[in-house]
Amino acid sequence: MLLPMKAYRASILWFAPHSDGPVQALFEEDGLLVIGPNDSGTQVVQAIGAWRDLSPLYPQVTVEHWPGRIIAPGFVDLHVHFPQTNIIGSPADGLLPWLENYTFPEENRFAAPEYSAESARFFIAELLRNGVTTALAFATSHTESVNALLAQAQAQRLRMIAGLVLMDRHAPPELLNRGHGKISGTEQSLLDTEALIQRWHGKDRLGYAITPRFAPTSTDAQLQGAGELAARYSDVWIQSHVAENKDEIAWARQLFPRSRSYLATYDDFGLMRDRSIYAHCIHFDDDDRALMRDTGAAAGVSPTSNLFLGSGFFDYAGADRVGFKYGLASDVGGGTSFSPFHTMLAAYYVGREGQTKSGLSLKPQHLWWQHTAGAARALGLDGSAGQAAIGNLLPGCEADFVVLNPKATPLLARKTALASSLSELLFSMIVLGDDRLIEKTVISQAI
């Protein structure tokens, strides 16, 4: 049985194809979005444009009319820790004490499958409430946590990419990857990673990411093994952290003195390529930026987390000058919000900061793109090279979208009514928006 075609009439926001040059947001005041199954039965965008032009072409299709609402692509979160939902807003004296006092004790609870399953349900509900339709997520060092998250995402058809945290040193013993009999924790973690790739990667809308927590908590042997898996399974993702904090960098340099820089450590172990996403990428030099560009790696910019932990400011001008890919991420629980609006606003603050780097004013369209089509491009899910397309509403894109109510609060209603341009409208929502702005999150269905 085929899914029927459907159409939605409302204002619509989407983006011109990336190949058309700089970021260009498109907006149709009275638009029509037509969705229907593609050859493999997945709901994708069939047509998008002005209602008056498109509606005569689809006379048989039922139209749902949402006056006063805005349809926009579902948000893509490039870096989030599913087991850290409970530790949002935990007070700590910087990154390393925060890990020790809050993160590690909470993550240890995910060895229990019921605890993992309950957390996964809450986590996914929270993503959807905030309009996030794709996430690249860390689990914990327990396979139970990966299985719980991906099973729950599969049940809800959420596009989820996740992986087992690889950590075989420099963390509390109960959180290190565990061995069995003669098999060391390091070996077992790599066997588990491969088994999880085979179980989950490419199933429905799920993907697997090879997930070293960060270089200092893995031995050379573990990073080496992770790099070998990354070579063998070239379409799985890789995710980790880099250059977030100066203490962390000094530590990584001490542990891997032969690498040119902290970032280069990952490259030396074969962990930088297309589909590798590194959270933070703050304290870089131009050689690091060029390494990102040349390997195809992308940055998961995590501004609420960086401001919360006082880590530093992502250098947008530097990234654009050298030309590597990036997109936005909540980094919950270091990050302080699941809301893409809060993340976009924090990215604006980070861009403005001009004491440690050059300051600039990121355009509202560009902020929005970083959390949708730009993030999809960073993941290699922008439809090029035959991959699925998400994060946009061009024909062929999977039909993941949000319905925004720009009158969701009295102040939003007052402010958005005054907007005389697309920039003003989008910026009002970025500055004043939160989960109340998301009236509905729609996930692409399949037969």
| Stretch touching Zn ion by CB under 5 A, among 47-55, 116-124, 272-280, 358-366 | 272-280
Q: Pick the piece of the chain touching Zn ion (CB under 5 A) from 209-217, 276-284, 310-318, 399-407.
A: 276-284
What is the closest distance, in whole angstroms, from the C-beta atom of residue 337 to Zn ion in the complex?
A: 14
Footprint of Zn ion on 277-296 (CB under 5 A): 279
CB of 244 to Zn ion, least distance (A): 8
Q: Which is nearer to Zn ion, 281 or 344 (CB)?
A: 281
Closer CB to Zn ion, 192 or 331, in the complex: 331
Q: Is 163 exposed, middle or buried (0-12, 13-18, 19+ CB in 10 A)?
A: buried
Cβ at position 428, least distance to Zn ion in Å: 30
Contact 293, 324 (CB under 8 A): yes
Find the shortest distance in angstroms from Cβ 150 to Zn ion: 19
Question: Among residues 72 and 164, whose Cβ is nearest to Zn ion?
Answer: 164
| Comparison of 3 and 92: residue with beta carbon closer to Zn ion | 92
CA distances from 397 to 15, 36, 200, 346, 434 (A): 12, 11, 22, 28, 25
Query: Quick one: which of 168, 267, 331, 400 contacts Zn ion (CB under 5 A)?
Result: 331
Q: Does 106 bind Zn ion (CB under 5 A)?
A: no
Selected range binding Zn ion among 185-193, 252-260, 328-336, 338-346, rule: CB under 5 A:
328-336
User: Closest separation between CB of residue 239 and Zn ion, Å?
Assistant: 9
Q: CB of residue 89 vs Zn ion: minimum separation in angstroms? A: 15
Q: Among 210, 186, 209, 216, which residue's Cα sits nearest to residue 95?
A: 216
Segment interacting with Zn ion, rule: CB under 5 A, options 165-173, 221-229, 324-332, 343-351: 324-332
Smallest gap from residue 84 Cβ to Zn ion (A): 8
Applying CB under 5 A, the span of 8-16, 123-131, 330-338, 359-367 interacting with Zn ion comes to 330-338
How far apart CA 218 and CA 236 sit, in angstroms, is 20
At 157, list the tokens. Answer: 């058809």
Residue 389 dihedral angles phi and psi, to the nearest 5°: -115, 130
For residue 333, say if its preceding peptide bond is cis, omega within 30 degrees of 0: yes
Min dist. Cβ of residue 148 to Zn ion (A)? 19
Nearer to Zn ion, 14 or 266 (CB): 266
Question: In the range 395-434, which residues lie near Zn ion by CB under 5 A?
Answer: none
Nearer to Zn ion among residue 92 and residue 413 (C-beta):
92
User: Do 299 and 243 meet the contact criterion of CB atoms below 8 Å apart?
Assistant: no
Smallest distance, Å, CB 241 to Zn ion?
A: 5
Site size toward Zn ion, by CB under 5 A: 2
Count other C-beta atoms under 10 Å from residue 384's C-beta.
12
Which is nearer to Zn ion, 150 or 279 (by Cβ)? 279
Stretch that binds Zn ion, among 16-24, 64-72, 325-333, 389-397 (CB under 5 A): 325-333
Question: Is the CB of 171 or the CB of 279 nearer to Zn ion?
Answer: 279
**Minimal distance in Å, beta carbon 81 to Zn ion?**
6
Point out which residues pair with 446 in neighbouring strands: 42
User: Which one, 131 or 334, has the nearer CB to Zn ion?
Assistant: 334
**Residues contributing to the site for Zn ion (CB under 5 A):** 279, 331
